[in-house]
Chains A and B, each alone.
Chain A
Amino acid sequence: MTISQDDIKKIAHLARINISSEESILLEEKLTGIMKLIDQMQKVDTDGVEPMSHALDISQPLRADQVTESDIRTKTMALAPETEESLFIVPQVIE
């Protein structure tokens, strides 16, 4: 599988990353190289093999819905680039 300039444009959009045209040209070769490596998988017969999503076969545990942590809202809000009255500020999205 080779990665084209169009592919890069499409995936960069999905990933929400600006890619300059110079970057895009360098990426074409590098991403194609990585996809060629990945394509080695295609020669393997995996019919009937169960996909493995996890190292150990465990089920998700449940716990009681109880407050266990102290309130660190002020601390976490202070990490935001822009806030106002405990709200995160982003550019206007609704006219």
Chain B
Amino acid sequence: MLNLSLKQLSQQLREKAFSSEELTRFFLDRIRKYNDSLNAFITIDEDTSIAMAKQADLKIASGNQGTFTGIPIAQKDIFCADGWKTTCGSKMLENFVAPYNATVVQNFNDAGAINLGKTNMDEFAMGSSNETSYFGAVKNPWNLEYVPGGSSGGSASAVAARLAPAATGTDTGGSIRQPASLCGFTGLKPTYGLVSRYGMIAFASSLDQAGPMAPSAEDCAMMLNVMASHDIKDSTSLPHPKEDYLASLDNSIKGLRIGMPKEFFGEGLDSEVQKIIEGAINEYKKMGAEIVEISLPNSELAIPVYYVIAPAEASSNLSRYDGVRYGYRTKEYDDLMDMYFKTRQEGFGDEVKRRILIGTYVLSAGYYDAYYLKAQKIRQLISNDFSQAFQKCDVIMGPSAPSAAFKSGEKKEDPLAMYLQDIYTISTNLAGLPAMSIPAGFTKGLPVGLQLIGNHFSEGHLLNIAHQFQLISDWHRKTPKEID
């Protein structure tokens, strides 16, 4: 059961090689065994998971199962799941039990999947190392002294250590792709609006997007089939016709034009990572792809623009945590103002406070034009760069992150160094484009991910391109040594 793909799990459940209850217990046992070392999960609820598995087994017995019936999936703790504690990695929501399901969770429930538990994450998804969680840092299963990346670090650690067959994540500036790169598996951030944001705790609403995290592109395609849906509860959800992302996996990629942006291979990129990425692109060349040099001239501005737009939107979104309707409230206070001030002082961690303050600053009277409006204009220029690049190529390739995983604590006190982790991923969020990270090799025992960026709604093609690489490589099948 340990290393079966989602497709194989589905098939073997249907053939009754094992029951969903056995499968779910198998992963719950692994979580119990390894979570003390990895801290990948914030909440597990064995009784609920097993009850769901028993329901799935009844469905399988009656012969009317779907593709996900009986398969356990870990959910990032940013998704509301009815009756489950949903903390978003924050003290502010330490005791928040979601009263309804996020659409992503509902879609998995409807498809028959088992909720295996809620995974750890950077507080309110703000971080690139999973060290800002109120519930403690997550460890990278390839080496416990290293970070798993973030913000979907718990999902990443769980997938890499096979504490779950697959997990959900969210990506505002790289939070699926960077941890997928650092932990050595496949992650996909879809086109903005393809997956509903309803019930997904908001960080930066014009950038947030949910996606799959799993060993292979085929697994991710199967998950995206369930996750992508038009949702009237999310006004930015797009009425895109339903696609079968498994259908295009086997298409030929002969003649594929791969754009290599020169800005992604310059200063700041680890030389070992560069070699691995160039090696992977060369494999594509052998498969009949053609390499085109492209330029994304404004990409160095992606980080400054992001650190205006994301904190601005976050400062607005997080104003809801006031200690009145839900979440943490300070114990002692004199009046309403005092209650707000102390609740927010005690309920938020340092990084979240920094971003709220920056966001408040750039939106405050007199600064709007110089910062927020300016950032929105440059966002347009960044988006234009991609439109031009896609006239010359079908897919853009480069590194997912500037280096392999770094040591815990190394960048924790240096926000600027941490922000650079997302230098290659942020621009796609600003442009709303789909992008993936797929395993491409190792440096010093740590995984390295290749990033694929496509045009809007090209998920099927991206998954096809990723799958073709995974047919000739086995980086995505490598697993870390079992932890002692």
Give complex CA distance A63, B380 in Å.
Answer: 30
Give complex CA distance A35, B192 in Å.
Answer: 27
Which B residues touch A17, using CB under 8 A?
A: 341, 344-345, 348, 353, 356-357
In the complex, what's the smallest C-beta–C-beta distance from A9 to chain B, in angstroms? Answer: 11
Contacts of B181-219 to chain A: CB distance below 8 A: 191-193, 206
Give which listed residue, A30, A51, A75, contacts B99 with CB less than 8 A: A75
The closest CB in chain A to the CB of B96 belongs to A79
Given contacts A11-B361, A56-B456, contact A44 B381 (CB under 8 A): yes
- Interface majority SS on A: helix, strand, loop or mixed? loop
Give complex CA distance A61, B298 in Å.
Answer: 32
Contact A34 B193, beta carbon cutoff 8 Å: no
Give which listed residue, B324, B358, B376, B379, contacts A80 with CB less than 8 A: B324
Cβ of B44 under 8 Å from chain A = no
Give complex CA distance A79, B97 in Å.
Answer: 7
Cβ of B135 under 8 Å from chain A = no
Which A residues touch B323, using CB under 8 A?
A: 81
Give which listed residue, B324, B325, B374, contacts A41 with CB less than 8 A: B374
Give which listed residue, B96, B362, B377, contacts A50 with CB less than 8 A: B377
Cβ of A15 under 8 Å from chain B = yes
Give which listed residue, B99, B334, B357, contacts A31 with CB less than 8 A: B357
Give complex CA distance A1, B383 in Å.
Answer: 27
Contact A8 B381, beta carbon cutoff 8 Å: no
Give which listed residue, A18, A41, A90, contacts B378 with CB less than 8 A: A41
Cβ of A76 under 8 Å from chain B = yes
Give which listed residue, A37, A46, A56, contacts B238 with CB less than 8 A: A56
Give which listed residue, B100, B193, B303, B338, contacts A56 with CB less than 8 A: B193
Cβ of B305 under 8 Å from chain A = yes
The closest CB in chain A to the CB of B456 belongs to A56
Which A residues touch B334, using CB under 8 A?
A: 91
The closest CB in chain A to the CB of B358 belongs to A34
Contact B307 A54, beta carbon cutoff 8 Å: no
Interface residue count on the A side (C-beta < 8 Å): 51
The closest CB in chain A to the CB of B303 belongs to A37
Contacts of A39-79 to chain B: CB distance below 8 A: 39-42, 44, 46, 49-56, 58, 60-61, 63, 69, 72, 75-76, 79
Contact A72 B100, beta carbon cutoff 8 Å: yes
**Total A-B pairs, Cβ < 8 A:** 169
Which A residues touch B341, using CB under 8 A?
A: 16-18
Which A residues touch B416, using CB under 8 A?
A: 33-34, 37
Contacts of B376-421 to chain A: CB distance below 8 A: 376-381, 383, 415-416, 419
Give complex CA distance A56, B191 in Å.
Answer: 9
Give complex CA distance A79, B354 in Å.
Answer: 27
Contact B374 A14, beta carbon cutoff 8 Å: no
Give which listed residue, A18, A56, A60, contacts B344 with CB less than 8 A: A18
Q: What does the 1/0 interface line of B286-323 toward A look like (CB < 8 Å)?
A: 00000000000010110111011000000100010011
In the complex, what's the smallest C-beta–C-beta distance from B450 to chain A, in angstroms? Answer: 23
- Interface majority SS on B: helix, strand, loop or mixed? helix
The closest CB in chain B to the CB of A53 belongs to B376
Contacts of A1-27 to chain B: CB distance below 8 A: 3, 7-8, 10-12, 14-19, 27
In the complex, what's the smallest C-beta–C-beta distance from B422 to chain A, in angstroms? Answer: 13
Contact B96 A91, beta carbon cutoff 8 Å: no
Cβ of B432 under 8 Å from chain A = yes
Q: What does the 1/0 interface line of B216-258 toward A look like (CB < 8 Å)?
A: 0000000000000000100110110000000000000000000
Cβ of B17 under 8 Å from chain A = no
Give complex CA distance A31, B358 in Å.
Answer: 7
Give complex CA distance A77, B236 in Å.
Answer: 28
Give complex CA distance A31, B339 in Å.
Answer: 25
Given contacts A40-B301, A52-B379, contact A34 B354 (CB under 8 A): yes
In the complex, what's the smallest C-beta–C-beta distance from B444 to chain A, in angstroms? Answer: 29
Interface residues of chain A, those whose CB is within 8 Å of chain B, are 3, 7-8, 10-12, 14-19, 27, 30-31, 33-35, 37-42, 44, 46, 49-56, 58, 60-61, 63, 69, 72, 75-76, 79-82, 88, 90-93
- A–B pairs, 14, beta carbons within 8 Å: A3-B361, A11-B364, A17-B344, A17-B345, A33-B415, A37-B419, A38-B358, A46-B374, A52-B380, A53-B206, A54-B206, A54-B432, A91-B334, A93-B335
- With A34-B307, A55-B192, A61-B235 given, name 9 new contacts (CB 8 A): A31-B358, A34-B358, A38-B362, A38-B371, A42-B374, A50-B380, A51-B373, A72-B100, A91-B339
Interface residues of chain B, those whose CB is within 8 Å of chain A, are 96-97, 99-100, 191-193, 206, 232, 235-236, 238-239, 298, 300-301, 303-305, 307-308, 315, 319, 322-329, 333-342, 344-345, 348, 353-354, 356-358, 360-362, 364, 370-371, 373-381, 383, 415-416, 419, 430-433, 456
